[in-house]
């Protein structure tokens, strides 16, 4: 029996989040021995979207696939740079014709692993149905990929749970992203799919979802729009999940949360 160990790192926020990944990932690799590493990178470049440079920086750390979300095209230049970022995955339920990949399949230990990124529609932008989009791609790739992982980038926990049960037994894992707050509901669903509502984030520990506390509170108090900026210094937060999949059956054997606080991270002088 071949088991595949997978590490999925939470939404990375700004340059501080990237520095945290660089600092903690080498030791985590030695400890967990992951065969496949994913990260959600939709907030990786100054908190909004991703750039080709940031993509390359993350891939150099050993990340296999970078998933995205509702900030996919915040950096407009990425529309032209997508071909230069082969392991970057956009949500599959964007309308037909939108640039980018609907799914990615990579091989590890002789096992092909498929990754699909979906955006929820509750309290989010109006895109095509994630349930139908996911099901169509699964039908397309299931004969090729022994393991299929879903990044369900959504606001509502109910919608994430619905996706988990809808795809239970059809995919190896449904992993929630977007809220930047790690949930404690990791489990293996009845038909063998690993599930968690949200894996959390990588960024500043003393922040509001990675962003400057003062400006967010000011927005709540006044309702006047403020641009939120990632926190650039202080303790760091690293959230992730690790899960093990039986490559023969495609079913999950275990799933565990990772929650680490780094006492101090080098101050980021310039956000990019």
For residues 191, 168, 63 and 235, what is the CA-based torsion angle, rounded to 10 degrees? Answer: -90
Helix axes 52-60, 14-32, angle to 10 degrees: 20
Catalytic residue (one of 71, 153, 178, 180): 71
- Sheet (strand 187-188) strand order: 103-108, 111-119, 147-153, 173-177, 194-196, 187-188
Whether 74 and 44 have beta carbons less than 8 Å apart is answered as no
Nearest to 45 by CA among 25, 70, 67, 17: 17
> How far is residue 32's CA from residue 103's CA, in Å, rounded to a whole number?
26
Hey, what long-range contacts does 183-188 have (CB within 8 A, 24 or more apart)?
Answer: 183/157, 184/257, 186/241, 186/255, 186/256, 186/257, 187/255, 188/252, 188/253, 188/254, 188/255
> How far is residue 260's CA from residue 19's CA, in Å, rounded to a whole number?
14
| 71 is an active site residue | yes
Name the residues annotated as catalytic.
71
């Amino acid at each position: 029996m071949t088991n595949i160990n997978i590490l999925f790192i939470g939404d990375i926020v700004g340059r501080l989040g990237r520095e945290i990944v660089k600092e903690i990932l080498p030791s985590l690799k030695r400890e967990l021995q992951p065969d496949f590493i994913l990260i959600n990178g939709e907030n990786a470049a100054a908190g909004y979207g991703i750039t080709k440079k940031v993509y390359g920086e993350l891939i150099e750390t050993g990340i296999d696939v970078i998933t995205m979300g509702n900030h996919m095209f915040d950096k407009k230049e990425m529309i032209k740079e997508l071909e230069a970022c082969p392991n970057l995955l956009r949500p599959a339920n964007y309308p037909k014709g939108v640039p980018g990949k609907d799914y990615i399949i990579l091989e590890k230990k002789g096992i092909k692993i498929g990754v699909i990124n979906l955006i929820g529609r509750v309290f989010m932008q109006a895109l095509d149905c994630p349930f139908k989009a996911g099901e169509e791609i699964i039908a397309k790739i299931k004969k090729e990929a022994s393991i299929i992982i879903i990044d369900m980038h959504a606001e509502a926990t109910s919608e994430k749970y619905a996706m988990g049960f809808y795809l239970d037994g059809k995919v190896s894992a449904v992993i929630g992203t977007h809220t930047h707050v790690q949930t404690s509901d990791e489990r293996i669903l009845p038909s063998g799919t690993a599930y968690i509502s949200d894996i959390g984030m990588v960024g500043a520990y003393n922040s509001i979802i990675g962003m400057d506390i003062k400006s967010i509170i000011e927005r709540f108090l006044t309702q006047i729009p403020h641009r939120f900026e990632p926190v650039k210094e202080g303790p760091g937060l690293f959230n992730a999940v690790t899960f093990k999949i039986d490559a023969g059956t495609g079913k999950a054997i275990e799933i565990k949360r990772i929650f680490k606080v780094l006492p101090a991270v080098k101050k980021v002088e310039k956000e990019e």
